Structure 1
């Protein structure tokens, strides 16, 4: 019975693939060279992509028309502001299939919503997505954060076809690899990838229809996942984490969420930290604190005998303070044996 079900599943996958090929061939032969695109986006990562699409339409290049779908909830939505400032036709999410039928192609960049099947099918050319990773690595909502957090030395951008019901599984049209510098912070890498994603999107569209004909399936066995970031991800466990792991997590969440730990009965946010040196004594307690007045920081021992230097913190209910201020106000009152961050 199982083999029969598997055979039927493969048959329908094959049938869908054949249908998709015929649909694309029919579109290639009947559509004009210029594309009418409907853009789906909401944030700063989306902005460079809508800019290159709009520029293409103004310069009479591959794109003839740009419509925009976005959320109207936030008045500071940069995509909505850009669309209105440039007199682009704007639609409030959610939309109906009839709206999609007015365009050739749907383009999704950091939209945050699963697109229903009836919308995907309404576009003659379907929909494509700009994703901030080298798929199939880091499928999901937070690929930039996870690539830094896990210590990757490279990442990139992918242009992929959107499939119904699941995020980031479609065939890949184009990719570009980007190195991750050892000290890069998330906002900087976010900006780099947003710009590179826009360039790759533009070159993919400029290469239409040839660039749409030779997509590459993803290898699901190589997939890794980058789900939405929960608050628990910010918590530092000094007993379990190496210095590199703490520092990578700090870089990955920088500008989004500060790392958190506890000292005595206080919640502490780690605002400014750097990698410290390897410690001479490897027998101390993980999370133990040493005040380094010459460098205006305090040093925290990690599980691997390496350390993290902390320069600024925020104690719950108080303003952000320097390491010196924290040392004078909190650490100086403690005995040496109690200078340890608690386990969360």
Structure 2
């Protein structure tokens, strides 16, 4: 009887000690479960995104977010920041048509705090640190290269111009004060066709970037965990294009190099040369199927050219004993003309020789 009474008196004290011991054992397990549940919540819920973009490379990503990632989700989960300077801004037009929340750049940190993540696609502005830090999950960027190759403003142009066999898109974290140096969350490769023109590759990469962005957001927590640092020793740079890159130096560039530059700048800028103190834009150029040695130009300086009546083109001597065909061009102050029109209108006025010369600027 005494034993029973003693047990009753001490039962609750011993039960409390047992519970405390179990809690010490289970608390790490419970914490791990809570962390897993939190990660699953990030994965399974839609992050509120503030999108930063301005141009035709940006638009497919905004379209993909709106139509795929946010399908059947309230509109206020996706906001847009863009410049209002250009009236033809396609990102602004799309946001207004779809009644997305639209903000004028520059934007205040208070606006960004209402979103989980900032997404930047071809925005063209260095994002201030206070803006980056105002997002709970920071900011990510869609970049048109396989980083760390071709950091900078013109990765597509440089990839074609430097004869890269492949390029791609990268999703990376944005770091303050520097462009394109953050950890890479995802990448996708794209083959560069030998005859591709810049607008086609631009459109292809824009769509690949949009698809990869949606995939990254759908798996955001795992992408963050597996993000890799860039190897700065492998970095190459694609700075903003200036008019200097359009000037053809016939004695330094081979026909292949000039043609690659033409394809890289196609639809953006024209290659330029000089003839009779006038600026000449090269509108359509090609490489001959076979690089033949033509006797009339064999011993001539680079930049020398003649009109081929049979093929109706100008044949220009370039560096490394190579030749380039010019099919269309524009003389300063004139409309676009064929090589035949140029020969009839300008070359026949100079009767001294059949061979003429383009000069570098």
TM above 0.5: yes
Q: State the partner residue of 2:104.
A: 92
Aligned counterpart for 1:292 among listed residues 308, 311, 314: 308
2:260 and 2:276 map into 1 onto residues whose CA distance is 25
Alignment of 1:184-199 (within 5 A): 184-199=196-211
Number of equivalent positions: 321
SS at match of 1:216: coil
Deviation at 1:34, TM superposition (A): 1.6
2:132 and 2:122 map into 1 onto residues whose CA distance is 16
Deviation at 1:185, TM superposition (A): 0.5
Alignment of 1:1-344 (within 5 A): 28=39, 33-60=45-72, 65-276=77-288, 277-280=290-293, 281=295, 282-334=298-350, 335-336=352-353, 339-344=356-361
Deviation at 1:25, TM superposition (A): 9.8
SS at match of 1:68: strand
Cα distance change of structure 1 residues 223 and 207 upon mapping to structure 2, 3 Å threshold: same
Q: State the partner residue of 1:12.
A: none
Contact 1:57 1:65 in 2 (8 A): no
SS at match of 1:130: strand
Contact 1:292 1:299 in 2 (8 A): yes
Cα distance change of structure 1 residues 228 and 131 upon mapping to structure 2, 3 Å threshold: same
1:57 and 1:130 map into 2 onto residues whose CA distance is 16
Q: State the partner residue of 1:20.
A: none
Deviation at 1:279, TM superposition (A): 2.9
Look at both structures and tell me which one has the larger radius of gyration over its CA atoms.
Answer: 2
SS at match of 1:122: coil
Q: State the partner residue of 1:9.
A: none
Deviation at 1:332, TM superposition (A): 2.4
SS at match of 1:43: coil
Structure 2 gaps, min length 5: 1-34
1:326 and 1:80 map into 2 onto residues whose CA distance is 43
2:337 and 2:81 map into 1 onto residues whose CA distance is 43
2:300 and 2:38 map into 1 onto residues whose CA distance is 68
SS at match of 1:184: coil
Give the TM-score taking structure 2 as reference length. 0.85
Moved more, 205-214 or 218-227: 205-214
Deviation at 1:154, TM superposition (A): 0.8
SS at match of 1:262: strand
Structure 1 gaps, min length 5: 1-23
Cα distance change of structure 1 residues 195 and 201 upon mapping to structure 2, 3 Å threshold: same
Q: Deviations over 1:289-315 (max 9, x none)?
A: 121122221110111111110011000
SS at match of 2:99: coil
Cα distance change of structure 1 residues 163 and 251 upon mapping to structure 2, 3 Å threshold: same
Give the TM-score taking structure 1 as reference length. 0.89
Cα distance change of structure 1 residues 213 and 127 upon mapping to structure 2, 3 Å threshold: same
Deviation at 1:251, TM superposition (A): 0.4
2:71 and 2:180 map into 1 onto residues whose CA distance is 31
SS at match of 1:191: helix
